[in-house]
Amino acid sequence: MRTHGNYIFRRTLRALFTALGVSLVAFLILHLAPGDPVKIMLGPYATEENVKALKARYNLDKPLYIQYFTWIKNIFTGEFGTSIRYNRPVSELIKERMGPTLILTGSGLLVAVILGILFGTLAALKKNSILDYITTFQTMFWLSVPSFWLAIVFLYIFGLKLRWIPIAGMTSFSSTILPIMTIGLRQQAWFARPMRAEMLEVLSQNYIKALKAKGLKYEKIIWKHAFKNALIPIITMVALQLPWIIGGAVVIEVVFSWGGMGSLLVGSVLSRDYQVVQTILLFISLAVVAANLLADILYTLIDPRIRIER
């Protein structure tokens, strides 16, 4: 048991190091800008005093490491700076936008995982059947189209032509269906393929033969033994795919005028609202780090080979 605790400790430590790096990237990204970030923020018509005042306000006249520590300190107190575009505290903006994004990515992920596991398992069980080929092809298809284009096509078919669903905004339940399905349908491909592979791998294991040799029912062999064994590695997969789902959601938010962090990010990038960009980058990446940590810990709790030492 000690080594297992040890593993969790080391894994958490690693996550903290990654979080540190992530915050550095989010912080330093502003300094990539050619020229003075403050001047860029304020635009070409800023007066010298304005620039100086803003610099002093954001500690931009201090050495880099002091700026970084001040930034981190402020983050821990919930102070993320001010958005120049909205002239409002970034924390307020994030608070507003967080909910819709969580709904979109959360439900999208759920749909993707369920569909992916379902298609992957069926394809493995009916290997080399029509169903298997269709699964191979449909996963290839979804992975080969950009999500923003998919969103536009869905919008055109279901929103403009068939008029089943409102085309934009977050006005009603039905308006959430299209964006969620766009994410879900596209990302299920990421789970269907590994799930199929895992399932086939497990089915080729010796213990499946042994289970048959003792006369266990086919259904039990598949759903109790093979399915559960195949599912364990998929847990890590889900966390690994999270960045892709978030990335896809950003553009989908833009297409569907979804008032989440994604569309806020794009708007802020385009209007050079760097405080907002920085904060959103930090939030998204920290969420990914946390999800990966969680998945790894969950994995050790589920798999008895890791949970219980010899």
Partner 1 sequence: MTSEDLSYEQLKKEIKRLKRKRSSQVNLVWKRFTKNRLALIGFIMVSIVIFMAIFSPIVSPYDPYKTNPLERFKPPSMKHILGTDALGRDVFSRLVYGSRIALEIGALIVLFEGMIGISLGLISGYFGGVVDKVIMWLVDVLRSFPIVVLALAIAGILGQGVINVVIALGTVGWTSYARMVRSKVLTIKELDYIEAARSIGESNLSIILRYVFPNVLPTVIVMVYLMMPTALIASATLSFLGLGVQPPTADWGSIIAEGRMYLLKAPWISTSAGFFIMFTVLGFNFIGDGLRDALDPTSRRN
Partner 2 sequence: MGTLLEIRDLKVSFDTEEGKVEALDGVNLKVKEGEFHALIGETGCGKTVTGLTILGLLDNNAKIENGQVIYKGIDLLKLTEKQLQQQIRGKEITMIFQDPSTSLDPIFTIEEQMLEALENELELTKEEKLKIITEELRKVKLPDVEELLKKYPHQLSGGMKQRVMIAMMLSCRPSLLIADEPTTALDVSTQAQFLKILEDLKRETKITAIYITHNLAVVSEICDTVSVMYAGRIVETASLKEIFLNPQHPYTYKLLHSVLGIETDIEQLQEIPGSVPKLINPPSGCRFHPRCEEAKDICKTKIPKLQEISDGHFVACHKRVMEWTKC
Binding stretches for partner 1 (CB under 8 A):
14, 17-18, 21-22, 24-25, 29-30, 32-34, 140-141, 143-150, 152-153, 155-156, 160, 197, 200-201, 204, 243-244, 246-248, 250-251, 254-255, 265-266, 269-270, 272, 274, 277, 280-281, 284-286, 288-289, 292
Rounded CA separation 119/139 (Å)? 9
> What is the phi/psi pair of residue 258, to 5°?
-85, 120
Q: Which stretch binds partner 2 (CB under 8 A): 93-101, 201-209, 258-266, 268-276?
A: 201-209
**Pick from partner 2, partner 1, none: which does 215 bind, CB < 5 to 8 A by kind?**
partner 2
Q: What is the DSSP annotation of 248-281?
A: HHHHHHHHTT--SHHHHHHHHHHTT-HHHHHHHH
Residue 31 touches partner 2, criterion: CB under 8 A? no
Residue 257 touches partner 2, criterion: CB under 8 A? no
**Cβ nearer to partner 2, comparing 49 with 219:** 219
The count of other CB atoms within 10 Å of the CB of residue 279 is 24
- The count of residues in the chain is 310
Q: Which residues contact 206 (CB under 8 A, 6 or more apart)?
A: none
Site for partner 2 in 167-196 (CB under 8 A): none
Q: How far is the CB of 211 from partner 2 (least distance, A)?
A: 7
Residue 210 touches partner 2, criterion: CB under 8 A? yes
Binding residue for partner 2 (CB under 8 A) from 2, 161, 163, 305?
Answer: 305
**Cβ nearer to partner 2, comparing 160 with 308:** 308
Rounded CA separation 274/83 (Å)? 8
Residue 163 touches partner 2, criterion: CB under 8 A? no
Three-class secondary structure of residue 88 per DSSP: strand
Structure-block tokens of residue 135: 């699964």
Amino acid at 259: G
